[in-house]
Amino acid sequence: MFELTHKTAIITGAGSGIGKAIALLFAQQGAEVHLPDINQQSVEATLAAIRSAGGKGVAYSCDVSAGEEVKNIFAAIGSADILVNCAGIAHVGTVTQTTSEDFDRVYQVNVKGVYHCLHFGIPLLLKKGGGNIITIGSVAGITGIPDRFAYSMSKGAIIAMTRSVANDYLRQHIRCNSISPARIHTPFVDGFIAKNYPGQEQVMLEKLAASQPIGRMGTVEEVAQLALYLSSDAAAFISGNDYPIDGGYLHLNH
């Protein structure tokens, strides 16, 4: 049902975490994956895993906040059926703790980076007569999360851009949806805890798991499965929506 054979997918941020899981799953389902990522070593490792499993793909060193880099790489790819905007950075802090430089850095990657990929990616989908776009948002873009001012700003912008693109390109057969995860257990989470809570890693992981009503963090594979569904022909009637994948975080009692 969710085959992507003969599809070409561009997946940013595939060097680790959610982007890596999406790249692995899409390749497993038959897509040829193109993987722009700022960390070339990490994305080459993702590509190696894809190829060792019999999949097809190409990795690129790319900073999505640099428009010329995105333009040149997307031009080299030529055409695509699927675009997944997953590249992003995090930031911790309230508005008064967020410097102008902090704010600009988050904006440049999380908002301007997605703009670049949409701006140069949509023409590649139009060459195929349409296609599908997924952006990775966050529950932080929907509800207030403590100490995430700049990050929440950027993810709220992603949800708004998703709906705008869906509306503008519906008649040109491009679907666009966003996925908004709550806490997902990624290498970033492990690194953040190790840096800020040395020696308390297990306690902090348990605390983060308990903050989700379902009692655990989500997995990157679970997010990838939702992305696969939304990218497949099974979701042909779906566009302009945001899909929280949150273990009940938004709507169930904490």
Residues acting as catalytic residues: 151
Q: Please enumerate, as own/partner, the contacts of 92-95 that have beta carbons within 8 Å and a separation of 24 or more.
A: 92/147, 92/148, 92/151, 93/147, 93/148, 93/149, 93/150, 94/146, 94/147, 94/149, 95/149
State the Cα–Cα distance between residues 28 and 242, nearest whole angstrom: 25
| Cα distance between the two ends of the chain | 35
Dihedral of alpha carbons 89, 144, 223, 183, sign? positive
State the Cα–Cα distance between residues 59 and 220, nearest whole angstrom: 20
Q: Which of 83, 61, 108, 50 is nearest to 174 (CA)?
A: 83
Find how far residue 115's CA is from the centre of its chain.
13
How many C-beta atoms surround the C-beta of residue 165 within 10 A? Answer: 23
